[in-house]
Structure 1
Amino acid sequence: MDLRMQHPRRNSIAPALLLLLFCLLAIGTVFLQADVYGLTIDEPLQDAYGRSLLKWYTTFGHDQSFITGYDQALHMPEHGASFEVLVALVQHFTHEQWHTRAVVNGLAGVAGIIGMALCGLEIGGWWIALLAAISLWLYPRFFGAIFNNSKDLPFASVTCFVLWAVLLLVRSWESRKRLSLCLLVGFLIGLAASIRINAVVWYPILAVLLAGWWLLHGKKLLKERRVLPVLGSHIIAAVLLGGTSFLAMILLWPYIALDPVHNLVRAFQVMSQYPWNGTVPFAGQIYPASQLPRTFVPTWLAISSPPAMLFFAAVGCFFPCLWLLRRRKLEGRTAALLLAFGAPLAALVLMRPTLYDSIRQFLFLVPPLLLLAMLGIKCLYDVLIARAYKLAAGVLILLVLLSHALVGKEMLELHPYEYIYFNQLVGGVAGANGKYEMDYWATCTKPAIKWLGEHYAEYMPDREVIFIASPQWGQIRPFVPGNFRYRQKTPDFYLASTRFNWGRQYPDYSVIHTITIQGYDACVIKVRPTK
């Protein structure tokens, strides 16, 4: 039985049209839901950073406020720049800030499902392409991040396109398209790195793929005395790919443009061991963010992914291993997919970088994980069809659709907090409460301030000006009523996320409202005691 991925030769009109319809529905969802989600803790800073970066471009490098205008401890220049510049550019033309930001971010999520569909097309044809796109859209922690995570979400989306381009390159490695595909892969890696430096992991992945190609073909080339010509062409391809990615980083990341080699190395060093001294709850224990156990990343992937996708991903890993044991070789695209997931996962486990905020900093592992699940579904389906178990194959498809429907139901119940989804391995949100990071973005502050804006007069009926304190003032400021003023000393009201025990401040104040998510108290509002 041949388990290798075959490139689809005939397009299927039905799944292609369904995929187009799905993408249009996704775009519509972005515009309809953009104002529903709250701002994250990082968004005010990221938005200002994007405007500073845009000034660097519009002044032809003279304005360097993206470096000088921020506390050095934040390491803003070492953070990727390209997506923040895009957001700032669109805001410049719309003359509007937060709705524009949410829409652009949401469209980046739609781009991700298009990239997933392209990868799915390479793996198993149009039906797998459709299923891959749906699977990413219905991955709760991906969907929950599309409106307000301008770092990890766009990076995950671009990762889909990088993987697609790599799959194309592997399939066409011995064709005339190789050099043009090297340009495409190089540009996409550079684009991804200009969002998050993690994208440099693609260099060793490509090196391993190339080494594997030489292991398979080296003896034949030696017999044909073609080693030097082929080696020369591969060196040219590698230089072309690496040079294109480096040039893309220089053009899309002002910090790299100022001192390409030194600043690229520094960005990697800073971001791989980010100097954040906070603590992280994990499995009921509290750890320093820089000293997390090696099980941190695998555990988070296990408890925050839909269980059916975990099962099918395991199947998707099993079949290639079986093929490797039987035939002593592995089809290139299968190897690329396994490496796209396994290599960065292994790096995170072994290097133990500073991590926090649950899965968001390695959200880019989700697309290859789901694509392994798509491969598992395809392999199971093909096995059942090959053995004439058509009824069982039909049941398999129904089970996949049912699993997506159940996840969709859970997402609706969590809305708009899909990014704190937990599966039943830990008992859902209620079971994870108190053991793992929950509402790390504190987006609950938006409905909290809206509630206070509607009810403050019940507690301060004779006051025209209301004083409020909040550690999330930057997040709630766009939504506060016009008569609200910030004051930390003896405010009338205190509004806070419960993260980092913020909700325990002002202990003599009385709690008048709580934003609760499936039993988890995410935000509290307190009122000053009456004299």
Structure 2
Amino acid sequence: MLERLCLFSPAYFCCLYPNWLGHSFFNYKDLPLAFFYCLALWGVIKSFDQERLSFLKGLIAVALASVGAGAVKIIAIPVMFVPLLGFLYSVVVSKDRIWRLKSCLIALPIALFTLYVVTPVAWVEPVRFIREAIIYMSHHEWRGCTISAGECLKPTGEDWSAFQYWWAWYSVRAPILFLIFMIPCMIFLVAKSNSARILIILSYLLPLSVIFYRNSAMYDGVRHLLFMFPVGVIIIFHAFDVVYNNYMKLRGFIFAVLGLNILSFSVDNVYLYPFNYVYFNEFSREKAKPDQYELDYWGFSLRQAAGRMTAHNRFPDQPLYFEAHPAHLVAPFVESPFIRKDTYYEEGSPYYYIGYTRGNRRMRTGCSQIAKIERRHWLFSDPMNLAFVGYCEDDSSN
């Protein structure tokens, strides 16, 4: 059952979890990386089987997952160390270890060569490229700051804490299924421990521990760690599966928990679309405000704001000026007769002002708000203000 959960429970999670679904529309790397990570875990679980055919399936899965993860994101290779070590452990403890070691020695150069072929950016100096990529991603210089729990946390600041940042976002973005059940499920599985279960738990905890130890730079909420959420789903679903098969009185409880989770995810996806990535869990929706957290990281609400500006245009046959922050995210969705104010402007002319609430931006002084882009969570009345459009009579006060 555990091996099936490694493949199918993450699929359920990725399809329904609004934060994941929303980011997947914009970032093509998260979903494939999570798939390959879970595929590697599935391969390791298969490798613990004593049958040679099962081991070969596991070996192929781990090799494909390692190559795939490297092809998607070369710096993801270190993330695969836990599954790879688990696979090596399954070989060492097997009674058939000699045959299995020979199989690994055959597969290793094939996998390395394939990884080299599918990562042309590393063709010249592959070892140096991987080393520098890892160093860059663990401590790259990102000078911006992310509003998190009311503070503007900056990765380059002296008081930067990766753990503080992670918890500020994890506590509001993670599903309540995680917040309530993750630790109890881990403890439950450890108490009923076997090698496969311990491996799955370590696959979730060790990457986090390394990030906290290295005090790595992070921004944009929990997006950089989205690939780990499916592993958490495997842990929770496997614990539920063990409980379901051994404690009949709790079956109704498990069905109720999962049913409510599916219902909540599904309805929130409808309410938030197409800004699913602004999801906040049920415990934290009163905190979904621009002065507490960054809301629209991708700035997609600016597209709708541009449409509202066009619809409001009172003089369709005359050129009108507009100013936007950031302008490069708005300009592709604005057509003639509108003219960017930073390219040409006649003093004293009215203009539109478009902005989004990232960085707690607000309407410019002296401008009248004519539209705003909002989304509400299910069963929560306060809207999240994502973007706004203002009409400014002249530029004399700015």
| TM-score bracket relative to the smaller structure | 0.7 to 0.9
- Structure 1 residues 7-406: aligned runs within 5 Å: 118-120=4-6, 129=8, 133-171=11-49, 175-179=52-56, 181-196=58-73, 197-208=75-86, 210-211=88-89, 214=92, 230=97, 233-234=100-101, 236-240=102-106, 242-290=108-156, 291-324=160-193, 330-332=194-196, 334-385=197-248, 389=249, 392-406=250-264
Contact 1:310 1:373 in 2 (8 A): no
Match of 1:414 among 272, 296, 300: 272
Structure 1 residues 212 and 310, CA gap change in structure 2 (3 angstroms):
farther
Using the alignment, how far apart are the partners of 1:164 and 1:485 within structure 2?
A: 55
Structure 1 residues 160 and 471, CA gap change in structure 2 (3 angstroms):
farther
RMSD over aligned Cα, in angstroms? 3.0
Q: Which amino acid aligns with 1:418?
A: N
Aligned-pair CA distance for 1:336: 2.8
Aligned-pair CA distance for 1:394: 2.9
Using the alignment, how far apart are the partners of 1:275 and 1:431 within structure 2?
A: 28
Using the alignment, how far apart are the partners of 2:165 and 2:103 within structure 1?
A: 37
The count of corresponding residues between Structure 1 and Structure 2 is 380
Q: What CA deviation, in whole Å up to 9, does each residue of 1:378-426 have, x standing for no partner? A: 12212223xxx3xx42343133212321232233222222211111332
Q: Which amino acid aligns with 1:399?
A: V
SS of the equivalent of 1:464 reads coil
Question: Which is worse superposed, 188-197 or 239-248?
Answer: 239-248
Structure 1 residues 249 and 469, CA gap change in structure 2 (3 angstroms):
farther
Using the alignment, how far apart are the partners of 2:337 and 2:106 within structure 1?
A: 59
SS of the equivalent of 2:386 reads strand
Match of 1:492 among 345, 348, 351: 351
- The residue number in structure 2 matching 1:454 is 311
Q: Which amino acid aligns with 1:397?
A: F
Q: TM-score, normalised by structure 1?
A: 0.64
Is 1:527 matched up with 2:391? yes
Structure 1 residues 453 and 340, CA gap change in structure 2 (3 angstroms):
same
* Unmatched runs of 5 consecutive residues or more in structure 2: 377-382
Contact 2:148 2:294 in 1 (8 A): yes
SS of the equivalent of 1:294 reads helix
Q: Which amino acid aligns with 1:469?
A: E
Q: What CA deviation, in whole Å up to 9, does each residue of 1:151-198 have, x standing for no partner? A: 3333233333333333333446x6245356434322322221222223
Q: Which amino acid aligns with 2:45?
A: L
Using the alignment, how far apart are the partners of 1:311 and 1:344 within structure 2?
A: 21
Structure 1 residues 465 and 254, CA gap change in structure 2 (3 angstroms):
farther
Aligned-pair CA distance for 1:503: 4.2
